[in-house]
Amino acid sequence: MLPIDCCTQPALSKRRVLHDSSHASETVVQCACEAYWFHRFHEWSNFDGPDDLTTWYTRLTAAEAERLLTADKPDLGFLPTKPSIMVDANGVQRVDGQPDRTYGGT
């Protein structure tokens, strides 16, 4: 079950992958209800225990989505101050924003 709240039965399709590696990804996705979300995934390797997996979803306006889908190098600077949904080992939380870059290289 997706933690997003644009509609009652969210179903996401990838629209543009901005970054993708084995430990991190940034993807513009669109729900079946047409809402756009920015999806970020990051895995912190932890040699002392289980890996720490974190996912963020940020709802995008149509204008924001259009920019991210068409720009050569999309500016993600607005993400840290845009209310987001974060999912990690502690569950689903509402947060004030999400990172605007991947951590620790690729």
- For Zn ion, the binding residues (CB under 5 A) are 6-7, 10, 31, 33, 35
Q: Least distance from C-beta 51 to Zn ion, angstroms?
A: 29
Sheet of 24-31, strands arranged across: 12-20, 24-31, 36-44, 52-60, 84-88, 91-95
Looking at residue 49, its amino acid is G
Q: Least distance from C-beta 33 to Zn ion, angstroms?
A: 3
Q: Least distance from C-beta 31 to Zn ion, angstroms?
A: 3
**Residue (94 or 101) nearer to Zn ion, CB:** 94
Largest Cα separation within the chain, whole Å, is 43
**Residue (6 or 69) nearer to Zn ion, CB:** 6
